[in-house]
Amino acid sequence: MLQDFKAFVMRGNVLDMAVGIVIGAAFGKIVSSFVDGILMPPIGMLVGGVDFSDLFINLGDGAYASLAAATEAGAPVIAYGKFINVVLDFLIVAFAIFVVVRAVAAMQKQKEAEPAPATERDCPECLSSVPIKARRCRHCTSPLPA
């Protein structure tokens, strides 16, 4: 059973998937940092100086100046600003994956469109296929033009 597991883990698909998961997790952190630190501050400024990560709806009785204060007090809140940031993270990651998949598909399509070099030609006498380098037809033995 241990050998079967080792064979399963060492297959190319499993290793490729593991590498993809690790790179995807790192890419997700980069996108989150981009959204939180670069993208959302200008959007918040355009909307009127709003910090989206601090937007919340207080479901409790008290009044709180920030999401951190409400969370620290243990008040029930709906942190919809964080949700907006996460949705933007998702959209950016999804768009980046779309661009990569589209580029790979275009490269594969281009590779498939290139014709393979010919390895055979037709004999002018009997129209049988013969290798390109052949000097005589293997079927009718007639000499082939160079």
Q: In the chain, where are the structural domains located?
A: 2-114, 118-146
Q: What CATH topology corresponds to 2-114?
A: 1.10.1200
Please write the tens of the pLDDT for every residue from 37-95. 888 888 878 878 777 788 899 998 889 988 889 989 999 999 998 898 888 888 888 88
Reported pTM: 0.56
Amino acid 12: pLDDT: 66
Q: Give the per-residue pLDDT at 3.
A: 86
The packing angle between helices 80-113 and 12-34, to 10°, is 130
**Is 79 within 8 Å of 58 (Cβ atoms)?**
no
Is the pLDDT higher at 42 or at 112?
Answer: 42
Distance CA 79, CA 62 (A): 16
CA distance 33 to 23: 15
**Rounded distance, CA 146 to CA 142, Å?**
13
pLDDT of 123 reads 92
CB 44 within 8 A of CB 51: yes
